[in-house]
Structures are given as structure tokens and as C-alpha cells.
Amino acid sequence: MRKDRFFISTKIGKGELEISDKKIFYQLKNVLRKKVGDRIILFDGTGIEAEAKIKKFSKDKIKVEILKIERPEREPKIFVSLFCSILKKANFELVVQKSTEIGVKEIVPMLCKNTVKTGLNFERLRKIAKEAAEQSKRVTLPEIKKILTFREAIEKTKEFDLKILFDASGKNFSLPKNKIQKIAIFIGPEGGWDKSEIELAKKEGFEILNLGKLNLRSETAAICGSFWGVSFLSQ
């Protein structure tokens, strides 16, 4: 039987636990109509998850008993950081949702020369990431970083093992021979990269790769690039 999963900000430990998150309370009591004795899955973002039994509904809190704590090995072993130009609202939200499901460790919004939209609703993006992590059975949440300029983003990648900027002009990719632990993936804006950005990336040791012969939208490239980084480089 499928058990509903919830991220909680309280550290999970053995014994009884009180959940005071109003949204979780409402979801369990009024939407899912859970009862005392029903079981749910909780995770706190530290890599563990727990099976819990509902013990009591108070006025606005839930008391649960932690029955079992596990550390599942579902998270990708490779650290993939997705650097994505800010896109239109719905498109960037899709990138956050799908890259979370894929297993990206952090998402870094960028301001590039051809970026049109410049603001983000971080509270909503974190909510989308949390719900995507719950749905996909992740046991950690991706960190959504502050907005960086393209040059600041380049500087942030100094310690990465592999740095890739995806562009239609790039070469076909092949799996690297060396073991990769940390990878940076750069996705440009709807208007494409400026030539100066590609040249700077080359100077800083980036691989300029393509995702095939077709012209992909930025959000599609972000999803495909994330999947490639998490799946193929983890092999």
C-alpha cells in the first residue's frame, strides 16, 4: 500500500515526534482524511526517511510515533549543479520541478546577457522543489541558490570536476574517462548565449556540448542536460 510522504524541517529521531507544520496538518486531516493509526513516511532532508504512525490530532498539531528509520540509497552519488538562466515564470518552475525529480543537488539561477526576466519567487520555487522531492521519493532537497551573474556563476565552478555549457554549436558529448564527482551544467536563456559568454566559458575550461541536432527550448535543455548529468555520469 502506498504511503504518503512529507518533508519536515524537524530532525527525525526515535520515539514520538510532534509535527506543527500547518500545511501538513491540513493535508493529512482535511485532504487525505488520515486517522489515528494510519502510517506515513517522513524525511528531513538529511538523507534518512522514517515510517511513522499517527498517534494524535491536536488542534493544529499532529503527534506521530517513529516506527522505523532508514537511509535509502536512492540519491545520485554524483553532485550535479544546474546553472540555468532565469526563464519565464512557468518555464523556470518546470525546470525546478523536473530537475528535482531527476536528482540535481542545487539549482543556481543566472542573469545572462540575453536574459529577459530578472526576478524569481523563491518561496514558490522552494515549495515546488519540496513537493517534487516528496513525489519522487528523494530524501534530500535541492538547494535553490541566490541569483548570480554569468561571470559570478563561472567563478563558482572553480572546484568542479567537469563543467559543461550546452549550446547548439557545441560538439557531441562522450562519457569522460576520469571519475566525476561534481559537475556544473550551464543552460542559457530563451534568446541563447551571447558569443562573449561562450568564449569566457571556453577560457575557464568548460566543455561546449550540444544535446543533439534539434533546437531545444531552454527548459527542455535544462531537463535533458540534468538527466544526462545525473544518469550517465553516475554509471
- What are 22's three cell numbers? 500547518
| DSSP, res 204 | T
Question: How high does pLDDT run on average in the chain?
Answer: 93
Enter the DSSP assignment of 32: S
Residue 83 pLDDT greater than 80, yes or no: yes
Q: What is the pTM of this model?
A: 0.90
pLDDT band at residue 162 using 50, 70 and 90 as cut-offs? very high
| Cα distance between residue 57 and residue 38, in whole Å | 12
Q: 189 to each of 83, 113, 156, 186, how far by Cα in Å?
A: 11, 9, 19, 10
Q: Where are the domains of the chain?
A: 5-70, 79-232
**Grid cell at residue 185:** 551544467
Q: Given a cut of 90, is residue 77 above it in pLDDT? A: no
pLDDT tens for each residue of 11-34: 999 999 999 999 999 999 999 999
Segment 125-132 mean pLDDT:
97
Is CATH 3.40.50.720 correct for 5-70? no
Q: Identify whether the C-beta of residue 145 lies closer than 8 Å to the C-beta of residue 105.
A: no
Per-residue model confidence (pLDDT) at position 177:
63
Could you tell me if residue 137 is left (phi over 0), alpha (psi between -120 and 50 degrees) or otherwise beta?
left
Q: In terms of CATH, what superfamily is 79-232? A: SPOUT methyltransferase, trefoil knot domain (3.40.1280.10)
The more confident residue out of 76 and 99 is 99
